[in-house]
Amino acid sequence: MKTNENLIHHFYTCFKNKDFKGMQACYAENATFNDPAFRNLDAAHVRSMWEMLIKKGKDLRVEYNHVQTDGETGTAEWVAHYTFSTTGKKVVNRIKASFVFENGKIVQHEDHFSFYKWSSQALGLSGILLGWTGFLRNKVRKRAAENLRLYMEANH
């Protein structure tokens, strides 16, 4: 459906332009989000996550392509280029996104990427040695959740 395809293009165009309010408006009130770092976010948390990532990602650059929709679902591929603030290391993260739509809004958004490749770039040696382990994945998830909680406390 063209409307949903346009929604994905609008979402990533806003992302490229660092317009988090435009991105936030793409989500339904009952939206959910998951990726390897941020788990089981509701609409309020996913909106805050994008705001936090854009505001803190000083050198963030986003590219996207391969947008496809089929009825109430869609996919896209995107690449994030940024410096991971914790370590100062450069990251190029290649992501496959999947979406479910209802009434012209995103109700489910999942981003899939190689946690090992990401952690190897973002964390350096510890990511290379431990990026395949559940231990490191859980540590990163806890840190991401805590950073989001603190951001929301301070900004909302």
Residue 1 pLDDT greater than 70, yes or no: no
Q: Position 147: which residue type? A: N
Q: Which CATH entry fits the domain spanning 2-155: 3.10.450.50, 2.60.420.10, 3.40.50.800, 3.40.50.970?
A: 3.10.450.50
Q: Which one is predicted more confidently, 71 or 108?
A: 108
Tokens of 111: 């981003």
Mean pLDDT value across residues 58-64: 95
Instruction: Label residue 156 by pLDDT band (50, 70, 90).
Output: confident
Lowest-confidence segment of 1-10, 95-104, 108-117 by average pLDDT: 1-10
For the chain, the domains span 2-155
Instruction: Label residue 2 by pLDDT band (50, 70, 90).
Output: confident
Mean pLDDT value across residues 109-117: 98
Angle at which helices 115-123 and 134-155 pack, to 10 degrees? Answer: 70
C-alpha distances in Å from residue 80, one per residue of 2, 110, 152:
25, 15, 23
The partner residues of 33 in beta bridges, in order of sequence, read 41, 109
